[in-house]
Chain A
Amino acid sequence: MSLAQIVFLVVAAVILGSALLVVTTRNLIHAALWLIVTLFGVAVLYALLNAGFLAVVQVVIYIGAIAILFIFAVMLTRADLRDRAPQLNRGWWLNIILALLTFGGLIWLFQSWTGFSKTAADIPAGFDAVAQLGNALISPTGYLLPFEVASVLLLAALVGAVYVAFSRK
Chain B
Amino acid sequence: MSWWTDPVHTIAAWLTTLLTGWGLPAWLASLIIQFLGVVVLVSLLMLLDIFLVWVERKVVARFQDRLGPNRVGPWGLIQPFADIVKLLIKEDITPAGADRVIYNLAPIISLMSVLLLWAIVPLAPQILGVDLNVGALYIIAAGALGTLAIIMAAWSSNNKYALIGAFRQVAVLVSFEVPMIAVMLIPTVLAGSMGMNAIVQAQNVPFVFLAPLAALIFIIAAIAELGRSPFDMNEAESEIVAGFHIEYTGMKFGLFYAGELLHAFTFGGFWAILFFGGYRFFGLETLGPLVSAAILLAKAMVGYWFIMWVRYTVMRIRIDHMLAFNWKFLTPLAFVLLMVTALVNAWLRNSNVLIYVLAMLAANAVIGLGVLQILRNVSRRDREKVEGPSQPVAAGQ
Cβ–Cβ contact A59 & B144, under 8 A: yes
Cβ–Cβ contact A72 & B141, under 8 A: no
Quick check: is A120 within 8 A (CB to CB) of the other chain? no
Residues of B1-36 whose CB lies within 8 A of A = 27, 31
- A65: chain B residues within 8 A (beta carbon): 144, 174
Cβ–Cβ contact A68 & B170, under 8 A: yes
- A67: chain B residues within 8 A (beta carbon): 148
- B148: chain A residues within 8 A (beta carbon): 36, 63, 67-68
Name which residue of chain A comes closest to B142, CB basis.
Answer: A59
Cβ–Cβ contact B163 & A63, under 8 A: no
- B184: chain A residues within 8 A (beta carbon): none
Name the one of B102, B151, B193, B194 contacting A68, with C-beta atoms under 8 angstroms: B151
Cα separation A56 to B144 with both chains bound (whole Å): 11
Quick check: is B147 within 8 A (CB to CB) of the other chain? yes
**Number of residues in A with C-beta < 8 Å to the partner?**
22
Q: Identify the interface centre among A56, A59, A71, A75: most chain B CB within 10 Å of its CB.
A: A56
Q: Knowing A33-B152, A130-B133, A130-B134, say if A60 contacts B141 (CB, 8 Å).
A: yes
Cα separation A52 to B133 with both chains bound (whole Å): 8
Cβ–Cβ contact A52 & B132, under 8 A: yes
Cα separation A74 to B282 with both chains bound (whole Å): 54
From DSSP, what is the main secondary structure of chain A's interface residues?
A: helix
- A3: chain B residues within 8 A (beta carbon): 27, 31
Quick check: is B145 within 8 A (CB to CB) of the other chain? yes
Q: Identify the interface centre among B27, B140, B167, B193: most chain A CB within 10 Å of its CB.
A: B140
- A137: chain B residues within 8 A (beta carbon): none
**How would residues 62 to 85 of chain A score, 1 for a CB under 8 Å from any chain B CB and 0 otherwise?**
011101100110010000000000
Residues of A63-117 whose CB lies within 8 A of B = 63-65, 67-68, 71-72, 75
Shortest C-beta distance, B327 to chain A (Å), equals 11
Which of the four size classes fits the interface of chain B?
A: 20 to 34
Shortest C-beta distance, A124 to chain B (Å), equals 14
Quick check: is A122 within 8 A (CB to CB) of the other chain? no
Name which residue of chain A comes closest to B135, CB basis.
Answer: A56
Name the one of A29, A33, A63, A131 contacting B144, with C-beta atoms under 8 angstroms: A63
- A59: chain B residues within 8 A (beta carbon): 141, 144-145
Quick check: is A143 within 8 A (CB to CB) of the other chain? no
Cα separation A68 to B141 with both chains bound (whole Å): 13
Quick check: is B236 within 8 A (CB to CB) of the other chain? no
- A128: chain B residues within 8 A (beta carbon): 133, 193
Cα separation A29 to B99 with both chains bound (whole Å): 11
Quick check: is B304 within 8 A (CB to CB) of the other chain? no
Cβ–Cβ contact A64 & B141, under 8 A: yes
Q: Knowing A56-B137, A129-B133, A130-B134, say if A64 contacts B144 (CB, 8 Å).
A: yes
Cβ–Cβ contact A60 & B133, under 8 A: no
Name which residue of chain B comes closest to A62, CB basis.
Answer: B144
Shortest C-beta distance, B137 to chain A (Å), equals 4
Cβ–Cβ contact A57 & B137, under 8 A: yes
Cα separation A53 to B132 with both chains bound (whole Å): 9
Shortest C-beta distance, B379 to chain A (Å), equals 20
Cα separation A56 to B184 with both chains bound (whole Å): 15
- A64: chain B residues within 8 A (beta carbon): 140-141, 143-144, 147, 177
- B138: chain A residues within 8 A (beta carbon): 56
> What are 21 inter-chain pairs, A to B, with CB distance below 8 A?
A29-B155, A33-B102, A33-B152, A36-B148, A52-B132, A52-B134, A53-B134, A56-B132, A56-B134, A60-B144, A63-B141, A63-B144, A64-B140, A64-B143, A68-B144, A68-B170, A68-B174, A71-B151, A128-B133, A128-B193, A131-B193
Extra contacts besides A60-B137, A72-B167, A128-B193 (15): CB < 8 Å: A3-B27, A3-B31, A29-B155, A52-B132, A52-B133, A52-B134, A63-B141, A63-B145, A64-B140, A65-B174, A67-B148, A68-B144, A75-B155, A130-B133, A130-B134
